Amino acid sequence: MARLSTLDRFLPVWIVAAMLLGLALGSLIPGLDTALEAVKIGEVSLPIAIGLLVMMYPVLAKVRYDQAHRVIADKKLMISSLVINWVLAPAFMFVLAWIFLADLPEYRTGLIIVGLARCIAMVMIWNDLACGDRESAAVLVAINSVFQVIAFGALGWFYLQLLPSWLGLPTTNAEFSFWAITASVLIFLGIPLLAGFLTRTLGEKAHGRDWYEGTFLPRLGPWALYGLLFTITLLFALQGGTITSKPLDVARIALPLLVYFVVVFAAGMLVGKWLDLGYAKTATLAFTAAGNNFELAIAVAVGTFGVTSGQALAGVVGPLIEVPALVALVYAALWARRRFFSPVPASL
């Protein structure tokens, strides 16, 4: 702990402070939410988009892209990630949505959409804080992105129309924009991924790996957390009015989300331990499974059902619950590393 910077050591404190600051700004400054929403990328506020890009770039600049082939060759990791992300996790969210929100169809639909949007952004931060495998995270996030473009619409049709009709439940008509999904992937993963790849490639070519990792990355690294805190502040400023005006609705949406994050994360850790993936890859498997792409979920909900819809509110509550939940799971992962996994050799 003594070797950590003040930013790293007290990160949970700064995150809580960012949440409170956002709520205060949203409540005390009239029209702030309107101003932040005035300029958008797709359906996501431009200031939030900037915060996400600042957050993602340093993490992706740390990835050793020449190690990607090692990750792709790990069939146990690849198959388990695909099964958890695209079969088990969406099905589990569908079940939770019907258990907790059976009487609230708009929130239920929004929650199902959140479950279909697999994480491609903030998961890199949680994985890095938990000392997960960066190269594995980058590859799994890229694979999730491809699957989102290909499979999101089909899965939405399956979980909102086909499966409910099989079970004798009410169905929901929804047409998801292929371009909204593609734009989300290109903006929130494509831009920082390309920037990170070029930064490492050109930096190592010009000065060597020792300089890049020993001198450059320590200077760049803190910007990921600055971007995280900036994004959290804006999210809470944008939605502070909703949170305070509909606390019971937010609580009802939050409960199944909390269950989802904890159960899916625990499942990922148990599967990784059972497959003997080692701590770093196990943590990466768990976080890439538990996290969700709230940028896409919000964009789809707003574009399909409208900005004032219950579906949009469920999409917005997603990151407000995900941030504190996954911060807590970072600490749970680090505790599990000490308790259940072999120590990492000092040379690594």
Mean pLDDT value across the chain: 85
Element (H, E) at 45: strand 44-45
**pLDDT number for residue 26:** 80
What's the gap between Cα 33 and its chain centre? 22
* Residue 93: predicted pLDDT: 96
Percent of the chain with pLDDT over 70: 92
The dihedrals phi and psi of 2, each to the nearest 5 degrees, come to -65, -25
pLDDT tens, position by position, 267-284:
999 999 999 999 999 999
Q: Quote the Cα angle for 312-317-319, to 5°.
A: 110
State both tokens at 230.
Answer: 């900036």
Between 82 and 15, the higher pLDDT residue:
82
pLDDT of residue 348: 47
d(CA 284, CA 277): 10
217 within 8 A of 284, measured Cβ to Cβ: no
C-alpha to C-alpha distance for 171 and 108, rounded to whole angstroms:
11
The whole-number average pLDDT for the span 144-161 is 87
Which residue did the predictor score with more confidence, 2 or 304? 304
* Stretch 201-228: mean pLDDT: 90
Q: Residue 138 has which token pair?
A: 């980058």
Q: Which of 6-10, 85-89, 95-99, 333-337 has the lowest mean pLDDT?
A: 6-10
Which residues lie below 8 Å from residue 179, measured CB to CB, with a gap of 6+? Answer: none
Confidence of residue 253 (pLDDT cuts 50, 70, 90): very high
What is the pLDDT at residue 163? 93
Indicate whether 141 pLDDT > 60: yes
CB 96, CB 256: distance < 8 Å: yes
| Residue range 15-43: mean pLDDT, rounded | 78
Global pTM value = 0.83
Q: Give the model's confidence band at 224: pLDDT under 50 very low, under 70 low, under 90 confident, else very high.
A: confident
Token pair in block for residue 246:
């509909």
Identify the three-state secondary structure at position 53: helix
Helix (H) and strand (E) counts in the chain = 20, 2
Q: How far, in Å, CA of 151 to CA of 209, rounded? A: 38
What pLDDT, on a 0 to 100 scale, did the predictor assign at position 295? 72
List b or e across 311-340, with b for residues whose CB sees 16 or more CB atoms inside 10 angstroms. Answer: bbbbbbbbbbbbbbbbbebbebbeebbeee
More confident site: 158 or 151: 158
- Residue 289 has a pLDDT of 93
Could you report the per-residue pLDDT of 285-344, keeping only the tens digit for each? 999 999 888 777 877 887 778 766 788 788 878 877 888 899 899 999 999 999 999 765
- Range of weakest confidence among 170-174, 191-195, 296-300: 296-300
Q: CA-CA distance, 35 to 292, in Å (whole number)? A: 26
Residue of higher predicted confidence among 8 and 42: 8
* Residue range 49-91, pLDDT digits in tens: 888 888 888 888 888 888 888 888 999 999 999 999 999 999 9
Give me the mean pLDDT over the 223-245 stretch.
80
Q: Are 220 and 340 in contact (CB under 8 A)?
A: no
Amino acid 233: pLDDT: 87
Measured CA distances, 118 to 17, 160, 219, 268 (Å): 27, 17, 30, 14
Query: Do the beta carbons of residue 281 and residue 307 sit within 8 Å?
Result: no
Residue 147: its pLDDT value, please? 85
